[in-house]
């Protein structure tokens, strides 16, 4: 982006889901699809943690990991 280009969305400047600023009001910790109690399938409290846990499943296959991470970042950071 050049200095003359207006920032269309504050999320366009964010390069990865790890840097996505999410308010605790909407970070998924209180979502209806969040497992609670002693039965959660993954150790994730928020949506960003869930995305990281999902991506960790593909860490041994670099191409798949890189492609999935790119798509997750595009989806989370409003680049669709």
pLDDT at 79 over 60: no
pLDDT, position 78: 65
18-67 pLDDT, tens digit per residue, is 777 777 888 888 887 777 777 777 888 888 888 888 889 999 999 999 99
Question: Mean of the pLDDT values across residues 5-14?
Answer: 46
- pLDDT score at 2: 46
Domain edges within the chain: 43-80
Band of residue 1 on the pLDDT scale cut at 50, 70, 90: very low
* Separation between Cα atoms, residue 9 and residue 54, nearest integer Å: 26
- Ramachandran quadrant class, 28 (left: phi over 0; alpha: psi -120 to 50; beta: rest): left
Supply the pTM of this predicted model: 0.67
């Amino acid at each position: 982006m050049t200095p003359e280009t207006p920032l269309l969305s504050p999320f366009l400047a964010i390069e990865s889901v790890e840097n996505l600023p999410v308010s605790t009001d909407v970070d998924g910790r209180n979502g209806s699809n969040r497992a609670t109690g002693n039965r959660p399938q993954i150790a994730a409290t928020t949506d960003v943690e869930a995305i990281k846990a999902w991506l960790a499943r593909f860490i041994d296959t670099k191409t798949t990991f890189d492609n999935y991470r790119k798509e997750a970042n595009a989806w989370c950071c409003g680049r669709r």
